[in-house]
Amino acid sequence: MITDRPTSDLSSPQPSSERSADSLLARHRRVMPGWLTPYYDRPIALDRGDGRHVTDTEGRTYLDFFAGILTNSLGYDLPEFREAVQRQLASGLTHTSTLYLIDAQIRLAERLAELSGIPDPVVFLVSSGTEANDAALLAAVCHTGTNHVVALRDGYHGRSLTTTAVSGLPGWRPSPYSPLRVTQADNGAARTDGPWTGADKERAVQDLAAALEREGDTAALIIEPVQGLGGFHTPPSSLLRRYDELVRDRGGVLISDEVQTAWGRTGKHWWGHQLHGLRPDVLTFAKGLGNGLPLGGLVARRAVVDSLPGKSISTFGGNPLSCTAALVTLDVIRDRDLMRNADVVGAYLLEGLRDLQRSEPHLAAARGHGLMLAVDLVEPGTGAPDPEAARAFVAACREAGLLIGMGGPGGNCLRIAPPLTVTEDEARTARAVLEQAAAATRPAGHPFRTASRGQSRSSV
């Protein structure tokens, strides 16, 4: 039956009492799965955004240094983005399906093919990172005729049966069943018992060689150039190159999961794999491309993708609205030189994290590339991961008006990844908040190390 309410009322916000965080949390718990957990003891309900700032339903504004999990590449309410999406909406077409030719989709595919650096590339568009990696793994399996895949420890590639199977991160693999046979290779991260060494590398390479000897033909090596949920750890380039050689010798292709690392996020380059000098056969992407509109996909060698017998389709994949959003996002990244911004502002933020690590006994391993930065919270003395301290740190940042992320295999890593449009002033504000939060969470009896402080007080 047609309602007599104007249709806009059906989706317009509820009265403010029903939109408070407390009311929304109670309702969230009633209708959402228990494993879908928002941040903070008292989660935030966001209501609007502007630039790098978001405002919650209770009127509190925050500086957003996690960007919807590295997805709002341009930040919020950028006029060029809003206008391009509104123009597409005004055409009346938000969806048509791939049964029809879609101008924005084809233009985007051409652009991605050109940016990929892959010979004879084809592009397949879907709606998320999980689907992108599923499609890549399916293509690799069809191309090679085997279901053996090599993936890295602490990797995360999505939430489906196939992509959880190749995800090595503890806690993100709910089922042991898998359509793939997976060998997990070392990711080259330091252990609490010491740094990663050349001997560790040789052992890791030998372990993989032995596994390949047992398993035989291999469909793919899937990597993240910088591991996202795994705590922004960058596997050593020389290790990845050795793994790539071993897997290629067994007929496998290289899949670079660029869901977090593409579009200039790591500075300097469009793709994260360029940090390592690799030549992937398949690049998968999602998150930052649509600046918040759902869009994922892959760009790959035609021979790999076209090896699927029969047909395939993604109903929503490459819809006109998301593709328009992606085209304008890529234009803005190029025209405003946002990769350079990621480098310059990222270097300034990393310097701040390194300063903090030198002076604070509970911070360790400041690291990152471009605007993908992290530092660990550890127990002073032992260096053991301290996830409680990480939660307290993130809560202290929130109190001071800064949103950042968490992650890492030990749950003790702080992840900092603002929109690529972040300004120097905003980075300065964030650095000051991080200093306050570090002081507020410093364990009793472990003094601040003044001697090494202030070594690098540069500005952006």
Q: How far is the CB of 22 from ligand PLP (least distance, A)?
A: 27
**Shortest distance (Å) from residue 166 CB to ligand PLP:** 10
Smallest gap, in angstroms, from Cβ of residue 380 to ligand PLP?
A: 31
What is d(CA 125, CA 316) in angstroms, rounded to the nearest whole number? 9
The verdict on 359 binding ligand PLP (CB under 6 A) reads no
Does residue 406 bind ligand PLP (CB under 6 A)? Answer: no
Would you say 333 and 264 are in contact if contact means Cβ atoms under 8 Å apart?
Answer: yes
Is there a contact between 133 and 255 (Cβ–Cβ < 8 Å)? yes
Q: How far is the CB of 305 from ligand PLP (least distance, A)?
A: 18
Q: Which stretch binds ligand PLP (CB under 6 A): 124-132, 135-143, 357-365, 377-385?
A: 124-132
CB 362 within 8 A of CB 393: no
Q: Pick one of 73, 260, 291, 441: the residue that binds ligand PLP (CB under 6 A).
A: 260
Nearer to ligand PLP, 66 or 81 (CB): 66
Closest CB 228 distance from ligand PLP, rounded Å: 4
The tokens describing 373, both together, are 């930065």
Instruction: Give the phi and the psi of residue 304 in degrees, each rounded to 5.
Output: -75, -50
Rg (CA), the chain: 22
CB 150 within 8 A of CB 247: yes
The residue from 72, 73, 88, 130 that contacts ligand PLP (CB under 6 A) is 130
Judged by CB under 6 A, the number of residues near ligand PLP is: 16
Q: Nearer Cβ to ligand PLP, position 134 or 200?
A: 134
**CA 229 vs CA 102, 161, 376: distances in Å:** 34, 18, 13
Among 134, 154, 257, 355, binds ligand PLP (CB under 6 A): 257
Instruction: Give the one residue of 128, 218, 266, 322 binding ligand PLP; rule: CB under 6 A.
Output: 128
Pick out residues in 206-225 that bind ligand PLP (CB under 6 A).
Answer: 224
By CB under 6 A, is residue 355 in contact with ligand PLP?
no
Interface residue with ligand PLP among 49, 68, 121, 129 (CB under 6 A) is 129
User: CB nearest ligand PLP: which residue?
Assistant: 129
Report how far residue 404's alpha carbon sits from residue 383's, in angstroms, rounded to the nearest whole number: 22
Candidates 281, 288, 232; CA nearest to 254 is 281
- E strand map for 74-193: 121-126, 148-152, 181-185
Q: How many residues belong to the chain? A: 460
Does 230 engage in binding with ligand PLP (CB under 6 A)? no
21 binds ligand PLP (CB under 6 A): no
Looking at the Cβ atoms of 130 and 147, the one nearer to ligand PLP is 130
Residues between 49 and 108 that touch ligand PLP (CB under 6 A): 69
Instruction: Please report, to the nearest 10 degrees, the dihedral formed by the alpha carbons of residues 172, 175, 178, 181 taken in order.
Output: 70
CA angle 19, 430, 72 (to 5 degrees): 55
| Contact status: 264 vs ligand PLP (CB under 6 A) | no
The stretch among 125-133, 182-190, 236-244, 399-407 that binds ligand PLP (CB under 6 A) is 125-133
Q: Which amino acid is at 284?
A: T
CA distances 442 to 308, 320, 360, 386, 413, Å, are 55, 50, 7, 12, 15
Residue 263 interacts with ligand PLP (CB under 6 A): yes or no: no
229 interacts with ligand PLP by CB under 6 A:
yes
The footprint of ligand PLP on residues 138-167 (CB under 6 A) is 156-158
Residue 151: strand pairing partners: 184, 222
Tell the smallest beta-carbon distance from residue 368 to ligand PLP (Å): 15
Q: Of the two residues 184 and 260, which places its CB atom closer to ligand PLP in the complex?
A: 260
| Residue 443: CB minimum distance to ligand PLP, A | 31
Beta carbon nearer to ligand PLP, 255 or 377: 255
Q: Which residues contact 176 (CB under 8 A, 6 or more apart)?
A: none
Shortest distance in whole angstroms from residue 322 CB to ligand PLP: 12
Binding mask 279-298 for ligand PLP (x = CB under 6 A): -------x---------x--
| Closest listed residue to residue 111, CA positions, set 125, 98, 101, 100 | 125
Q: What stretches of 168-232 adopt beta strand conformation (E)? A: 181-185, 220-223
Those residues whose C-beta lies under 8 Å from the C-beta of residue 316, and which sit 6 or more positions away, are 95, 126, 127, 294, 322
Q: Which stretch binds ligand PLP (CB under 6 A): 114-122, 253-261, 385-393, 420-428?
A: 253-261
Question: With the C-alpha atoms ordered 71, 73, 75, 80, is the resulting torsion angle positive or negative?
Answer: negative
Q: Is 134 in the site for ligand PLP (CB under 6 A)?
A: no
Q: Binding to ligand PLP by residue 273, rule CB under 6 A?
A: no
Yes or no: say if 42 and 25 are a contact pair by the CB < 8 Å rule: yes
For ligand PLP, the binding residue among 74, 259, 389, 394 (CB under 6 A) is 259
Residues that bind ligand PLP (CB under 6 A): 69, 128-130, 133, 156-158, 224, 228-229, 257, 259-260, 286, 296
